[in-house]
Amino acid sequence: MNASQQEEPYTDSTVFWYHRFVKGAALLVWIAIAGVVFWLAGRVGQALLLLILGALIAHILAPLVRFFQRWLPRWLSIVLVYILILSFVCVLLFFIISAAIRELSLFIGWMKAYLSSGRGLIPQPILNYMSKLGISQEQLQRMGEQWFSQIQGILSSIFPLLSNTFVLFINTVLVIMLSIYFLLSGPVITHWLTSRTPNRHQRNIAFVLQTTGRIIGGYIRGNLLLGAAMSILTGIGLFLLGVPYAFLLTVLAFVLEFVPVVGVYIMGGTIVLVALTKSLQTAVLALVLVILLQNIENNILAPRIIGRVVGLNPILTVFAIVAGTNLFGVAGAFLAAPVAAVLQELLKAGWNYWRETHPEQFQNEQPGN
């Protein structure tokens, strides 16, 4: 009797530490697997990125294809959708690029005239304030000229990148071809995956496909809607304030809306600097406008448009963006959040399944945890 009472605590302790060891080992194994997956993704990053972009475009266009498929064959619906989309994009880019180039040319001409006038880059109110601090106008002038020469050097280094135009064209064609293939064969691929999967795992495959499509598709559509809304609000605000080159800044705001984390600060700084060329008062009002728009985006629009779809912790979002940028560059930064959100949902589902199938390992868990 006494011997059994002495062995019972030892047995319970052994089971407790055994479960702790198994959980820790499983976590380390999953971390190692994730590391190997990320390493392999980095090695085949370019091809994988083209494949992902093709699948995303196909996913975005799939509802439109299904709409036309009510009256037309699927292949003809796909052709019609691409003709409409490409025509719309070409016309839109023609007007946007033409207006942007016109305003950019005016801005460059203004910069040259402003510098040649001898007034420098710094407005007079700032010059007066700096002179009180013992900083002369000549020092500020030299700093401005050095800064402008550095900007010119950066811009001149961009032109050699035009040699990669052919590669960009080939990649664009490949992405379009892949998206067409996914649209044509999407139902076939889905049926093949489910039919080749054992019956007890078919629900899991369907859940993975549904979760991936819901989160990534919603994220992309939400970003497009959010970018359009923020660029329109930015354009209206800049026009009312009389900020120069409002249209060019509006286009830039739409583009930078897709650059996570840093895009907001680049856009805000650019708007304030351009507004500063008119007057210090306009720059202050532009800064207030930027802060107001960011509050509207972060507290009203983004949580309702994107937050409900992604539902990702901010810390995980930053980590995913850094990892995606290191692996795939700007495109990786854009796709990092939805991919991490998909992985989070899959891990949650796997954890819930483990709790349901192994309830004995969670007997000591407090309700609500």
Report pLDDT digits (tens) over 185-223.
777 776 776 666 667 666 777 777 777 777 777 777 777
Residues 339 and 277 in one domain: yes
* Residue 2 included in any domain: no
Beta carbons of 226 and 301 less than 8 angstroms apart: yes
d(CA 211, CA 345): 8
Structure-model confidence comparison of residues 316 and 173, the more confident one:
173
Give pLDDT, residue 78.
Answer: 81
83-88 contacts, C-beta under 8 A, 24 or more apart: 85/61
* Residue 26 included in any domain: no
Q: Please, which residues have CB within 8 angstroms of residue 291's CB and are 6 or more apart in sequence?
A: none
Give pLDDT, residue 250.
Answer: 83
Structure-model confidence comparison of residues 353 and 162, the more confident one:
353
Q: Which amino acid is at 182?
A: F
pLDDT of residue 309 exceeding 70? no
* Residue 21 included in any domain: no
Could you report the per-residue pLDDT of 265-295, keeping only the tens digit for each? 888 888 888 887 777 888 888 888 888 888 8
Mean residue pLDDT of the chain comes to 71
Work out the number of other CB atoms within 10 angstroms of the CB of residue 136: 11
Q: Give me the number of domains the chain comprises.
A: 2
Name residue, tokens 């972060």.
Answer: 298
Q: How confident is the model at residue 130 (pLDDT cuts 50, 70, 90)?
A: low
| Boundaries of domain holding 174 | 43-133+161-196
Does an H or E element contain 117, and which?
A: none
Residues 221 and 349 in one domain: yes
pLDDT of residue 4 exceeding 50? no
* Residue 246 included in any domain: yes
Beta carbons of 65 and 78 less than 8 angstroms apart: yes
pLDDT of residue 353 exceeding 70? yes
Q: What proportion of the chain, given as a percentage, has pLDDT over 90? A: 0
What would the two tokens of residue 6 be?
């002495």
Residues 179 and 250 in one domain: no
* Residue 227 included in any domain: yes
Please state the rounded mean pLDDT for residues 14-24. Answer: 63
**pTM of the model as a whole:** 0.55
Residues 184 and 265 in one domain: no
* Residue 140 included in any domain: no
Q: How confident is the model at residue 20 (pLDDT cuts 50, 70, 90)?
A: low
Residues 190 and 250 in one domain: no
Give pLDDT, residue 39.
Answer: 67
DSSP at 312: -
- CA 169 to chain centroid, in Å, comes to 22
DSSP at 365: P
CA distances from 261 to 121, 198, 258, 265, 320 (A): 29, 42, 9, 8, 12
d(CA 350, CA 363): 19
pLDDT of residue 148 exceeding 80? no
d(CA 302, CA 295): 10
pLDDT of residue 5 exceeding 60? no
Beta carbons of 203 and 349 less than 8 angstroms apart: no
Give pLDDT, residue 188.
Answer: 73
pLDDT of residue 107 exceeding 70? no
* Residue 112 included in any domain: yes
pLDDT of residue 147 exceeding 50? yes
* Residue 9 included in any domain: no
Residues 270 and 176 in one domain: no
Name residue, tokens 């040319």.
Answer: 105
Closest CA relative to residue 232, chosen from 218, 222, 247, 242: 247
Beta carbons of 338 and 307 less than 8 angstroms apart: no
Give pLDDT, residue 7.
Answer: 46
What would the two tokens of residue 151 be?
């900007």
Residues 261 and 353 in one domain: yes
Q: Please, which residues have CB within 8 angstroms of residue 326's CB and are 6 or more apart in sequence?
A: 42, 332
Please state the rounded mean pLDDT for residues 63-79. Answer: 81
Q: Which of 54-58, 91-95, 241-245, 314-318 has the lowest mean pLDDT?
A: 314-318
Structure-model confidence comparison of residues 12 and 334, the more confident one:
334
First and final C-alpha spacing in the chain: 38
What would the two tokens of residue 224 be?
């497009």
